[in-house]
Structure 1
């Protein structure tokens, strides 16, 4: 295992989990569009605003990783794990994520963007 600073680890995790959060939000937006909500527009506006925030944060993380020559390669999914290879300053680190942990991390991010991010403003 290579020594990756916590700040870089956090950005690596963002680059892995934020695209998953975008997928969830886009599916939820489609479900709202097709659903029988009485007042769709407030939900749509809220989710679209969160999508823009997530896209902005993901773009910043990707720019940082690109600028610092950090690469993430998604590997295979096997049983209950998904594997990633992180190329960091000439070294390689293999990382495995328990799929339930991935779901929990994405859920935590959703909570952050729904509640925590609003409290920062």
Structure 2
């Protein structure tokens, strides 16, 4: 079995965790909309900006993956682990991820997106002043 190169695996896993983060952000958006927040607009604006940044990055990764003929296939999930098959130009690699580790990786992606979104708010405030 020929395994994926490190850079290919890095692109694929970033795409995978970014996709999961987008799902979480959409769920959070709905919770905030349906919640009993007195002022929810700043939170919604932040999540919208984070989602926009995530989708933009994922679009770039998807293009790279298409060019390299890469695919990610979700194989199965149980209480402890999730399995994914990464394919790239005839090479494949099966990876099992501990579900709490996935959660941690998605949290890291969300924190990164939050930092970028907050910076973009600051940049737009400087431009507007």
State the TM-score, normalized to the length of structure 2: 0.84
Pairwise CA RMSD of aligned residues? 1.9
For 2:7 and 2:91, how far apart are their aligned partners in 1?
Answer: 17
The residue correspondences of 1:105-120 to structure 2 (distance < 5 A) are: 105-115=105-115, 118=118
Q: Indicate yes or no: 2:49 matched with 1:49.
A: yes
Name stretches of at least 5 consecutive residues in structure 2 with no aligned partner. Answer: 124-129
Figure out how many residues of one structure are paired with residues of the other and give that number: 121
Q: Find the counterpart in structure 1 of residue 21 from structure 2.
A: 21
Larger of the two Rg values belongs to structure = 2
Q: Distance in 2 between matches of 1:116 and 1:59?
A: 17
Tell me which of the two structures has the higher relative contact order, counting C-alpha pairs closer than 8 angstroms and 6 or more residues apart.
2
TM-score (normalised: structure 1):
0.89
Runs (4+) of structure 1 exceeding 6 A deviation are none
User: Which whole-Å CA distance do the structure 2 matches of 1:36 and 1:76 have between them?
Assistant: 36
Moved more, 109-118 or 46-55: 109-118
Unaligned runs of at least 5 residues, structure 1: none
